[in-house]
Amino acid sequence: MTPLRRWFWVWLFGLPLLALAIWGIADNQRLFFATALNGLTLAALYFLVASGFTLVFGLLRNVNLAHGSLYLLGAYVGWVAGEYLGSWFLAVAAGFLFAALMGLLLQIGVFRFMHGQDLRQTMATIALSIIAADVALWIWGGEIYQFDPPRWIIGSTALPIVGKFPTYRLVLLAMAIVIGLALWWFLARTRVGMMIRAGVDDRAMLSASGIDVQMVFAITFAIGAGLAGFAGVVGGTALSIAPGEDTRYLLASLVVVIVGGMGSVAGAALGAVLVGVAEQFGLAYAPTYGIVFSFVIMALVLAFRPQGILGRRA
């Protein structure tokens, strides 16, 4: 795309949005900035869920539709751990470890045997997500669970313009940024991260250069699943955990990675910001059509850039 055309698109979508934003600020400054901040914190949560999804897809070409189930299972297990151990931080760790273990088991026990058969793998993940949702309902019932985070996190912080804002959401935002940076460091600077990136580009070459590809796959799957479980506890603290959350976050991950580009962690961050902010603005300004905004973004991206904003053609 030539720079001129790129600017054309930027202005085509940017100008109306800018006009709307100016109107929003002039109309109700507090509502506008509070919504923007809410959108960013939701984006943080979406990024945590979707980054694992996109990582797994990028390397394994496995569309893990059980990703939402890993989120929910991680949240439930984290809740149980939090109840027994009395520490929210241990709950987070438990959620991460349990989901990572589940991911490892899935990769070693199921997906390894269907390598290269995308559709069968995807359908197996659908079957597993049905089973996981029903088992979770069996064990934990239909009640809504709340986490019990440390006192200093759940208060509120005074911010300029917005006023009082829940501290936890700011912590969430910070956590997502830290995780994002850690993920970047892991992928860009460590040896395993290098293997993963090489695998994304060319799996056959990676295995030809003497690397145990199955091990790299297992590590990636464990990290991706672990991030979902981590997000389960962290997101469950911000909102709550209940049956049905699995599909909600699966949808969020799907839209985020379709918008951002499959297999790209930076794309997941960009997509999460777009979708999260759009959803919150939709909720604030057009309550019953909130979902339409995310959908319109997805449709626009598919219409003009099918591989996603930062995606590469397969």
Partner 1 sequence: MSAAHWRKAMNFTDAGRSWSGGRAAAPPRQATRTPPAGVAATSMGWLQSWRHIGTRHVAVLLAVLAYPWIVPPFFTYQIGGQSLVLGLIALSLTFLAGYGGMLSLAQMTVAGISGYIVAILGVSGTPEISLGWPWWLAVVLAIAGGSLAATLIGWLSVRTEGIYTIMITLAVGMAFFYLAQQNYAIFNGFQGFQKVVPPVVLGVDWRQPMPFYYLALFWALAGYLFVKYLIRTPFGIALQGVRDNARRMSALGYSPVAHRVAAYAVAGAIASIGGVLLVWYNGLITPGSVGTSWMINILIVAVLGGMRHPVGPFIGAVVFVLLQNFAIDLVDRERFNLVIGLVFLVIVLFSPDGLLGWWDALREWAKRRMAATRNSGMARTAVRASSLRTSSVSQVRPAGRR
**Positions in the binding site for partner 1 (CB under 8 A):** 61, 63, 65, 110, 113, 116-120, 122-124, 126-128, 130-131, 133-135, 137-138, 247, 250-251, 254-255, 257-258, 262, 287-292, 294-295, 298-299, 302-303, 306-307
Between residues 241 and 255, which has the closer beta carbon with respect to partner 1? Answer: 255
Between residues 132 and 183, which has the closer beta carbon with respect to partner 1? Answer: 132
Q: How far is the CB of 10 from partner 1 (least distance, A)?
A: 22
Between residues 116 and 150, which has the closer beta carbon with respect to partner 1? Answer: 116
Q: How far is the CB of 241 from partner 1 (least distance, A)?
A: 18
Q: How far is the CB of 213 from partner 1 (least distance, A)?
A: 17
Q: How far apart are CA 125 and CA 123, in angstroms?
A: 5
Between residues 22 and 123, which has the closer beta carbon with respect to partner 1? Answer: 123
Q: How far is the CB of 113 from partner 1 (least distance, A)?
A: 8
Between residues 20 and 299, which has the closer beta carbon with respect to partner 1? Answer: 299
Torsion of CA 174, 176, 182, 185, to 10 degrees: -110
Q: How far is the CB of 61 from partner 1 (least distance, A)?
A: 7
How is residue 253 written in tokens?
């991950």
